[in-house]
Amino acid sequence: MTLDSLHLLFFKNYDEASLALSPHINCFIGENGSGKTNLLDAIYYLSMTKSAFAASDAQCLKQGADFFLVKGSFTLPASSSPEVIQCSLRAGQKKLVTHDKQPYERLSDHIGRYPVVLISPYDTDLIRQGSEERRKYFDSIISQLDHSYLELLIQYTFTLKQRNALLKQFAERHSFDRDYLLILDEQLVHAGTQLVQLRQQFLREFVPIFQRHYLELADSREAVSLDHKSQLPDQDFLQLLRQNERKDIALQRTTVGPHKDDYVFLMDDSPVKTFGSQGQQKSYAIALKLAQFEIMASRKQHKPLLLLDDIFDRLDERRIKRLLQLVANHTFGQVFLTDTHLERTDQALAGLSEQVSRFRVHNGRVQPL
């Protein structure tokens, strides 16, 4: 799969930009703050219908603008003609995503069609931050691979919001509607139990791939592992909801369920967050992303887009060398990378047989080099 062209209007710091892209390697060169990462984010947006970095779609609007547009032309191995994806948002209105000018009835139908993997300086946040970041990360991977998982996740999230709203209503109105609560509990149990099963099933496939990539990246030979921590496997979900009903009513929120799951990152049976060095944490995070790429390429039968943000500034020579070895071995398909120095990029990519396109980025303007 390749992204052949990219067009932006009023996206982040861009008034307008149009790029014809290499099917192999694309380098965005510019100073920090020039808009390099925003180009990667636009590509991510085309795949996932949301930003990798902004908390809301409104934050993708260029300052002073009331709409933005991101458009890309994709070529898939099984497709006889390019497929054009367009994402647009007008302030105060609903986001619109179209496939060959036809709007999706549901945005979830788009997820997974054009897979993407992003490796960025913020990847170690997965290790350092709370459980929500890790759940979002693995939910994103599994949702791109399994549409039924995404449907269950949407159903669970919607029902959870309904249940939490009902719990708040109990407190505000000093009333208690057990019948409605029981209906929501049953719906929550139906989706939640399956979510946990699919998460565990995914990890059984993912972990050995992740462990192999870590060994190839790391200097040392510490044993890494990854566990799924959930309340559900050891207890009946419906019974768990019953046991915590009074607590939920008091706190006005649902305190048990797969929305409380976590993924535990371990190194020699100790938390990577606490005992891993900065280098070990970087290797752990990159190994997660490389395993993500491999499993997506295998399941989708075409390689995801790979976005590499500021790797030359943030990674040491050993890890950069490993990533470039994978590029040279044709492990990856189409690659997009950012850097501040053209000479460094050219030196790193010297000797690769793939076609390389270079773009200069400056103050929200981009030109081919």
Domain annotation for the chain: domains and CATH numbers: 1-115+315-369 (3.40.50.300), 125-301 (1.20.1050.90)
Instruction: Give residue 66's pLDDT.
Output: 94
**Are 270 and 79 in contact, with CB atoms under 8 Å apart?**
no
Instruction: Give residue 311's pLDDT.
Output: 86
Does the annotation flag 364 for ligand binding?
Answer: no
Please state, rounded to an integer, the average pLDDT across all residues of the chain.
93
CA 231 to CA 131: how far, in whole Å? 14
33 contacts: CB under 8 Å, gap ≥ 6: none
CA 159 to CA 184: how far, in whole Å? 7
Does the annotation flag 34 for ligand binding?
Answer: yes
Instruction: Give residue 221's pLDDT.
Output: 79
Tokens in use for 291?
A: 């395993």
Does the annotation flag 276 for ligand binding?
Answer: no
Could you give the residue ranges of the DSSP H alpha helices within the chain?
Answer: 36-48, 125-128, 131-145, 147-173, 178-217, 237-243, 245-251, 272-275, 278-300, 311-314, 317-328, 342-349
CA 77 to CA 333: how far, in whole Å? 12
Question: For the chain, which ranges sit under pLDDT 50?
Answer: none
**Are 38 and 9 in contact, with CB atoms under 8 Å apart?**
no
CA 27 to CA 40: how far, in whole Å? 10
Instruction: Give residue 150's pLDDT.
Output: 96
CA 176 to CA 179: how far, in whole Å? 9
Does the annotation flag 257 for ligand binding?
Answer: no
Does the annotation flag 35 for ligand binding?
Answer: yes
Percent of the chain residues topping a pLDDT of 90: 79
Does the annotation flag 64 for ligand binding?
Answer: no
Find where tokens 């060959």 sit.
100
Does the annotation flag 88 for ligand binding?
Answer: no
Instruction: Give residue 92's pLDDT.
Output: 87
For the entire predicted model, the pTM comes to 0.93
- With CA atoms as reference, report the closest residue to 363 among 1, 6, 17: 17
Instruction: Give residue 262's pLDDT.
Output: 96
Does the annotation flag 192 for ligand binding?
Answer: no
